[in-house]
Amino acid sequence: MTTGRRSRVARLLAAALVLPTAAGLTTATAVAFAEPNATTTTTSATATTTTRAAVTQAEETLAPVTTTPAAKSTSAAAVATTTAAQATTTTTVAPTTTAPTTTEAPTTTVAPPQSRAVRAAPTALRSIPGVSKVQWITDRRVALWVDSAAMGAPFQVQVLLARDWNAKPDATFPALYMLDGLRARDDESGWTIETDAASFYADKNVNVILPVGGQSSFYSDWLEPDNGKFYQLETFLMKELPPVLENSLRTTTTRGVIGLSMGGTSAMALTERNPGFFKFAGSFSGILTTTSLGMPQAVQYAMNDAGGFSAAKMWGPPSNPAWAAHDPYVNADKLKGVSLYVSSGSGMTGPYDQPSGIPGVSTNYAGMGLEILSRLTSQSFATKLNKLGIPAQINYRPSGTHSWPYWQFEMHQAWPQVANALGVEANAPACSVGGAIAAVANANPWLGGCVTGEYGVAGGVAQDYRNGRIFFSSGTGAQVVAGMIGGAYQAAGGPAGQLGLPTTSESPAPDGRGRFNHFQNGSIYWTPQTGAHPVWGAIRDEWVRQGWERGPLGYPVADEVNTPGKPGAVQGFEVGAMYYSPTTGTNAVQGLIMGKYGQLGYENSWLGFPKTSEIGVKDGGRFNRFEGGNIYWSPLSGAWSIKNGPIFDAWGSQNYENGRLGFPVGDEFPINGGVQQNFQFGNITLIGGRAEIH
């Protein structure tokens, strides 16, 4: 082959390998473009509008409140060392689902403050050994940041939990790993961004494992770090992740793997390199040889284009044995006993492509080139399997380019073989709905149909649907919980946790920005900016008194946690935090006063817990009382602390900020023989226990 021909082959392959996501095709529904009799089912989400349930008119009345400016450098969530969860791990807003419109709903009962002041709520997988962070996205989708010694940092994995996860809490389930393409993102798997995977697997009894990230990695252990990454993903996926899944997510050692493009290459390579780990391996449009003529150079071109990575840092120069060790074609003999599925299109214009005007040629030129090369390498791979006597399901589609709608189609088509290999039923058992649950289900068709029958939960019954759950008890009625609110409910322990059963379905907040569900013992509030967080007990009571989300604190940005070092609880909100302690009650700290409080060490400082929320004083000023002193703020003086004791008493003798000294303009500081505090129009010194005003 001449140099020019080699270069053209390399460029063609590289262009295909680095194909970006097909624009405009992310919500396409898979249809049978090769099998005329194949069909799929689509679901849609609809919303109705309701008034806030379980809220009286008096509760909705917002008293005028003046607040200090928000402290730019201090997050309310930092009080509890909790990062505010943002709604960045899903591509769609949590379903805006509600029960039929009502003007009044059952009253929510809140636990007495003293009963829940200093204990953490019951949780469902909020803390997992070997996992640095857990975030519930929905009731059946959870993100884990799994600790990785191999990579030196936690790596995110999202799990779509099996159909019977809620209905059968003692059951365990096989795992299906789904690998992404070359341009894998660090926030979410392409499978949940670009396909209907979350909905499709909702009635399947497998735990779907979605590694998040790994751009240009080929899910392998690299020889050297590059571009800020030192991938050791084979070790992570094969050694470090399985114990977490098996010990904490009820996952068995029966596993399958599928992947698209780079992920298809990796699905075969990982299966070959780890005998016995996977019972099923599927490649959708994978490049199934990496060492044939021109391929290492093409891989290098593609990796450089997708993130600026060097293939030499991955597997060394092309002469390095690591290249052959990761080549699916070279190691095909190691696939004996594995159920195999290989598919590729032809590159010709298919049902999801836009024709270019040239017969058979779409406007997706790069996708056309890659799919041709995928077809060629898949044919070579299949030929070798045949020579080795290894059976495989090989699907050469008559059309189609390298793009997500075709991979969604293959995901659907491969499922019966996956199910057979993993030992689960391919078709979900029939389920039916009845009674009060049926009425609510019929009013919310976006739920997508039941996937389980009714099953018992603490205090009532529940039924799972493709896109959420319905709970029922005679005291609370039938209520829908879904989306990220459903995830927060799961994290809080569900019906058996602090919140109890839902008393309303999801409803829009009066400010038009957020959504909420009320429960027997609290509420969960959600916005796109803050995520979903429960509010309950004494903190909820005070938040309600101050005006709900339209009050000075805004929406919750973190869950309530116990305060470190002292009996109490704290919850972060958009503009501050709410504190509770048995001795001081429940009070809010916000704005620049919150900033100063944090600077001094929060409740573990000499200030202790707040004894009041903000109180307005002259000239637009504000202050909070604390156990050990006060923090004052005004627009001209800023936010400063003042300790209880002689200096504070001397200031009080001059009528505090209303007297001749004005507001404090600094914290107390040492001087020779004592301490001093400065005010707008003077200072107070404390020497030898005697306070003097200057």
| DSSP character at residue 354 | -
- Count Cα atoms within 13 angstroms, Cβ side, for 483: 30
How would you list the strands of the sheet with 515-519, edge to edge? 507-508, 515-519, 522-527, 531-536
Task: Name the token pair of 72.
Answer: 């730019």
How would DSSP label each residue in 624-691? EEBSSEEEEEETTTEEEEEETTHHHHHHHHTTGGGSTT-SB-S--EEETTEEEEEETTEEEEEETTEE
Cα distances (Å, whole numbers) of residue 674 to 322, 663, 684: 71, 21, 11
3 state SS for 435-454: HHHHHHHHHCHHHCCECCCC
The three-state secondary structure class of 257 is: strand
Q: How big is the chain, counted in residues?
A: 694
Check if 371 is active-site: yes
What per-residue string of b and e applies to 605-618 under the rule 16 or more CB within 10 Å gives b? Answer: eebbbbbebbeebe
Check if 326 is active-site: no
The single residue of 75, 148, 189, 261 carrying the catalytic annotation is 261
The three-state secondary structure class of 406 is: helix
Return d(Cα 240, Cα 171) in angstroms, integer. 23
Return d(Cα 642, Cα 656) in angstroms, integer. 11
Return d(Cα 473, Cα 496) in angstroms, integer. 13
Residue among 76, 78, 86, 80 at smallest CA distance from 574? 76
308: phi > 0 → left, psi -120 to 50 → alpha, else beta; which? left
Return d(Cα 309, Cα 215) in angstroms, integer. 9
The single residue of 402, 412, 518, 533 carrying the catalytic annotation is 402
**Are the C-beta atoms of residues 486 and 466 closer than 8 Å to each other?**
no
Return d(Cα 315, Cα 321) in angstroms, integer. 8
Task: Name the token pair of 656.
Answer: 């505090």
The single residue of 272, 371, 410, 542 carrying the catalytic annotation is 371
- Count Cα atoms within 13 angstroms, Cβ side, for 638: 11
**Are the C-beta atoms of residues 268 and 288 closer than 8 Å to each other?**
yes
Check if 261 is active-site: yes
**Are the C-beta atoms of residues 343 and 285 closer than 8 Å to each other?**
yes
Return d(Cα 155, Cα 148) in angstroms, integer. 7
| DSSP character at residue 493 | T
Q: Please name the residues in contact with 673: beta carbons below 8 A apart, sequence gap of 6 or more.
A: 687, 688
Task: Name the token pair of 259.
Answer: 């992947």
Could you give the residue numbers annotated as active site? 261, 371, 402
